[in-house]
Amino acid sequence: MSIREFAMTNPDNNMLDKAEIALPTDVVSLAEDVSFKRDTPYTRTLQEFMRHRVALVALVVILLIILSAILAPRLTSYDPIGRNSKDRLHGPSAEYPLGTDALGRDVLTRILYGGQISLQVGFLSITIAACIGIPLGLMAGFFGGKVDNLIMRIMDLILAFPGLILIIWLVGLLGSNIFNVMLAIALFSLPTYARLTRGQTLSLFQRDYVLAARCIGALPVRIMFVHILPNILGSLIVITTLGVSDAIITGASLSFLGLGVRPPTPEWGAMLSDGRAYLRNAWWIAFFPGMTITLLVLALNTVGDAFRDAFDPNTLSK
């Protein structure tokens, strides 16, 4: 038991405060380092993040939106799909907090259910992209030469198309449904992950500990996933957070253009598109789904920025 720990476990014992046995400060800090293993890069990052008040609020907003999408059937008693011709185009009221649309469906209910699709598109497409892109980047950075060339030229080719155009084109060719939308977004997001991972792998590859691992005969797979990947996780988390927000916007854009979900499925972009015809007399139909997307994306970007600050060693010294 270290001196500090002893002092902590015995609150009455204020030994450390007594001048006659005060230890040199470096001994105290040494004891602290040994007994409190909390000061790892990850806990430091977490502390840095927790200091970011706005980001914490944003995180709560994201969690609330995710929860309310999952719990939609319990949160509302209205039907998101069925028509209700007697309550068409109702303005926001106590009965319908965000109004009703042209078919008399509650807008709030449709926003809650619509979140299920938008969030799925955002998270699934980026998960696919990260799961393929990160190993590709690791391989390109680790093996170099022909493997690197082949992988990176394919990535360059994907980037040669302007993003949304490529996605629209693919969805147009493969058929417009939500599965193809996710695939197309994943494909276009691939290069981001492959490029970042490759760059960081290349710089870590020169480090002594990687060399040491190679010398003792560690398999490439082990070096890539055990020695390199954990050290680049920080940057990957940042781009993944920002990637999800981009994917949610892209998914909603495609539904807005009529290339995503089919009516009457509730989806934020599609709801916005439906509301366009009623802008003059029922602005709420298009306004609130758009506001929800903006809120979610704003929260994701804020969290992403806070992660960036937290993982950046330069800001730690503050």
Partner 1 sequence: MGRYILRRTLIALVLVLVISVLVFVMLRVAIPGDPAALLAGDRASPELIEQIRKNMGLDRPLIEQLVIYLTNAVRGDLGRSVQFGEPVFGVIVKAFPFTITLTFLSVMVGTLIGLGIGILTAVKRGSWIDSVSIVVVVFFYSIPSFWLGLVLILVFAVGLRVLPVQGSATWQHFVLPVTTLSIGQSALIARLTRTNMVEMLGAAFIQTARSKGLSERNVVFRHALKNTLIPIVTVVGLSVGGLLGGAVITENIFGLPGVGRLAIEAIVGRDYPMIQGTVLLVAVTFVFVNLITDIIYVYVDPRIRYD
Q: Which of 30, 75, 164, 202 binds partner 1 (CB under 8 A)?
A: 164
Nearest by Cα to 63 from 246, 310, 295: 295
**Is residue 135 involved in binding partner 1 (CB under 8 A)?**
no
Contact 155/194 with Cβ under 8 angstroms? yes
**Is residue 189 involved in binding partner 1 (CB under 8 A)?**
no
**Is residue 57 involved in binding partner 1 (CB under 8 A)?**
no
**Is residue 27 involved in binding partner 1 (CB under 8 A)?**
no
Total residues binding partner 1 (CB under 8 A)? 43
**Is residue 312 involved in binding partner 1 (CB under 8 A)?**
no
Write out the binding residues for partner 1, residues 272-311 only, by CB under 8 A: 272-273, 275-276, 279-280, 283, 286-287, 290-291, 293-294, 297-298, 300-302, 305
**Is residue 157 involved in binding partner 1 (CB under 8 A)?**
yes
**Is residue 263 involved in binding partner 1 (CB under 8 A)?**
no
Q: What is the smallest separation between the CB atom of 25 and partner 1, expressed in angstroms?
A: 32
Nearest by Cα to 46 from 33, 59, 34, 35: 59
Write out the binding residues for partner 1, residues 207-246 only, by CB under 8 A: 245
Q: Which is nearer to partner 1, 64 or 221 (CB)?
A: 64
Q: Which of 256, 260, 309, 310 binds partner 1 (CB under 8 A)?
A: 256
**Is residue 42 involved in binding partner 1 (CB under 8 A)?**
no
Count of CA atoms in the C-beta half-sphere (13 A) of 289:
33
Q: Which of 163, 199, 263, 264 binds partner 1 (CB under 8 A)?
A: 163
Q: What is the smallest separation between the CB atom of 164 and partner 1, expressed in angstroms?
A: 3
Q: What is the smallest separation between the CB atom of 236 and partner 1, expressed in angstroms?
A: 21
Q: What is the smallest separation between the CB atom of 278 and partner 1, expressed in angstroms?
A: 11
Q: Which is nearer to partner 1, 138 or 270 (CB)?
A: 270
**Is residue 98 involved in binding partner 1 (CB under 8 A)?**
no
Q: Which of 15, 27, 93, 161 binds partner 1 (CB under 8 A)?
A: 161
Contact 4/31 with Cβ under 8 angstroms? yes
**Is residue 253 involved in binding partner 1 (CB under 8 A)?**
yes
Nearest by Cα to 259 from 187, 169, 188, 197: 169
Which residues here bind partner 1, judged by CB under 8 A? Answer: 157, 160-166, 168-169, 171-174, 176, 245, 249, 252-253, 256-259, 269, 272-273, 275-276, 279-280, 283, 286-287, 290-291, 293-294, 297-298, 300-302, 305
